[in-house]
Amino acid sequence: MTFRMTPRGNSVPTHPLMTQSSAPASHESSAPNGLSQTPLDQWHRDAGAKMVPFAGYEMPIQYGDGIVAEHQACRNRAALFDVSHMGRLRFDGDGAAEFLDHVLTRRVSDLGVGGVRYSMVCNADGGILDDVLVSHLETPSERRFHLLVVNASNRAKIIQWLTPLLAEFPTVTMSDRTELTAMIAVQGPLAIETCKKLLSFDPARLKNYQARITDQFAKPVIVSRTGYTGEDGLELIVRAEEANRVWENILLAGRDSGFIAAGLGARDTLRMEAGMPLYGHELSETVDPLTVGLKFAVNLADRSFVGDAALRKIKADGPQKTRIGLLPEGKRPAREGSDVLDSNGTKIGTVTSGGPSPTLGVPIAMALVDRERGSDSEYQIDIRGRSVVARPTKLPFYRRPVS
Amino acid sequence: MSRDSKQLRYAETHEWVDVAEENGERIATIGISKFAIEALNDLVYMDLPEVGRKLAIGDEFGEVESVKAVSPLYSPVAGEVVAVHTELPDNLEGLNEDPYEFGWILKVKLDGEPAETLMDHATYEKQCAQAG
């Protein structure tokens, strides 16, 4: 058998995302293999994580309890994820919102302080360069800025893409704060209640897709009610040197409630069940947001931005493809790249993500298929040479119970 | 009778082999090691060969899948498949609990000797320790 494990001393406390001053030395370390390590790297190793290369980082794919246990902890209690590999870009200066308006598929200029919005960065053809979260934040000293959280694998590309576009906005500055900060996701039904004990601001007062700056034992932290698991929860951004303290504090506060650390493996099964797209799988430069069923992430009304003309045309003509959810029969998971066939055996699409669903106990898959075949009542998936019948199902596969 | 993992031979690719005489035939029983099962973790699917299939050394005879990974299984022997453990795919947790007895995957009527590269238990353990 072969393993194919493939598969992140001032009077006012400073925070690399909250100060405009030039950056202190990087806290991110680099291993001899050229991969970066997050500030929590040693913690992961001490906890027995299996580390794998991911988007230029060494990241925990799972800890000792395994992916299923970590997945279930998140669904039933809460789990902590080190997502420090995600890129964090800060935008300052007059016109920052207008600049972001120009490069994102949704409006930013009407995003109030404390607002967070999911959006796309598209090229002129409407192809997706990245999917991002943009936040509008205010520091304790009342300085406002925008934060863009980008995929780890796209960070360098996005900086390279935005840099020339910034030339037209001379008052706007972009700074990459990824290596100076750490990002921790606390996700699950008990996440908010437990984090409440640790923060000066009650995170229950945040609505979904809201964020603010508060502190954790007198150290600044950006708290955002967002996530990538389908559960309620928070994403925290702290200074790199605070990462271990905050991480351990949350684990300690949640110990009696069964909080555990979870790796990228569980993060992937959780987001798949929640029907959330992942860059490099559902999303890429060869598809546009309308094709992959993310119409909500594109606002074409009375505005212009990079890619808007192409997206208007795609909207008028109708996308060529559509994203669907599939339930393959039997126990054998359909994996990314498998052909999707119609009942006559003709190829009509491709599986973009697939695997076992720990919550449902059956395999699930997302696929991109020809649009006119998007409402078929039955499909087949070619799993390494064998056809398996697959039933279409509405996305998401899992929706959290309304509390 | 419980199979003693120390008496088995192991392939670099983590299959174990137990050769015994049964009714005058030399029969190899094949499974996968505890180390591999623990490393894979959370097994969800296993694909078995058909009885009667002829295998050469190194042939892929099936696969085992965990949540994140698909791992092909390679035959450490040549011969004809005479039995497969059909209860196993529906009881993969049994493979975790008892990889050397309940966890047998197939029996092969040997044609010649098993692969020369098979290791004894101590050597295999050393390989696993290095793999970390």
ipTM summary value = 0.79
Task: Encode pLDDT of B11-58 as tens digits.
Answer: 999 999 999 998 889 999 999 999 999 888 889 999 999 999 999 999
Contact A264, A59 (CB under 8 A): yes
Q: What angle do CA A323, A327, A328 make, to 5 degrees?
A: 115
Give residue for tokens 């059956």.
A362
How far B39 CA sits from the closest chain A CA (Å)? Answer: 9
AA identity, residue A37: Q
The answer to whether residue B23 sits within a structural domain is yes
Whether residues B44 and A6 touch (CB distance < 8 A) is answered with no
Residue A273 vs residue B96, higher pLDDT: A273
Contact A118, A133 (CB under 8 A): yes
Closest Cβ–Cβ partner in A7, A68, A333 for B65: A333
Contact A355, A336 (CB under 8 A): no
Whether residues A333 and B73 touch (CB distance < 8 A) is answered with no
The answer to whether residue A13 sits within a structural domain is no
Instruction: Give B73's contacts in chain A (Cβ within 8 Å).
Output: 1
The answer to whether residue A17 sits within a structural domain is no
Q: What is the CATH number of the domain that holds B108?
A: 2.40.50.100
Return the pLDDT at B130.
86
Give B90's DSSP letter.
G
Q: Which residues pair with B43 in a beta bridge?
A: B66
Q: Domain of residue B72: give its range.
A: 5-114
Q: Domain of residue A205: give its range.
A: 22-319
User: How far is Cα A21 from Cα A403, in angstroms, rounded to an integer?
Assistant: 43
Closest Cβ–Cβ partner in A1, A265, A335 for B32: A1
**Reported pTM:** 0.90
User: How far is Cα B107 from Cα B81, in angstroms, rounded to an integer?
Assistant: 6
Q: Are residues A108 and A198 in the same domain?
A: yes
Q: Are residues A218 and A363 in the same domain?
A: no
Task: Encode pLDDT of B73-93 as tens digits.
Answer: 999 999 999 999 999 999 998
Instruction: Give B32's contacts in chain A (Cβ within 8 Å).
Output: 1
The answer to whether residue A9 sits within a structural domain is no
**Residues annotated in a binding site of A for substrate:** 235
Other beta carbons within 10 angstroms of residue A296's beta carbon come to 9
Which pLDDT tens digits describe chain A residue by residue (403 residues)? 665 443 423 334 456 666 655 444 455 566 678 899 999 999 999 999 999 999 999 999 999 989 999 999 999 999 999 999 999 999 999 999 999 999 999 999 999 999 999 999 999 999 999 999 999 999 999 999 999 999 999 999 999 999 999 999 999 999 999 999 999 999 999 999 999 999 999 999 999 999 999 998 889 999 999 999 999 999 999 999 999 999 999 999 999 999 999 999 999 999 999 999 999 999 999 999 999 999 999 999 999 999 999 999 999 999 999 999 999 999 999 999 999 999 899 999 999 999 999 999 999 999 999 999 999 999 999 998 999 999 999 999 999 998 6
The answer to whether residue B36 sits within a structural domain is yes
Please spell the DSSP secondary structure of A252-313, one letter per residue: HHTTTTT-EE--HHHHHHHHHHTT---BTTTB-TTS-TTTTT-GGG---TT---TTHHHHHH
Q: Are residues A374 and A261 in the same domain?
A: no
Contact B59, B75 (CB under 8 A): yes
Q: Are residues A314 and A344 in the same domain?
A: no
Report the pLDDT averaged over residues B60-75.
92
AA identity, residue A313: K
Number of domains forming the structure of chain B: 1
Q: Which of A312, A318, A316, A307 is nearest to A125 (CA)?
A: A307
Number of domains forming the structure of chain A: 2
Instruction: Answer yes or no: is pLDDT of B131 > 50.
Output: yes
Instruction: Give A331's contacts in chain B (Cβ within 8 Å).
Output: 44-45, 89
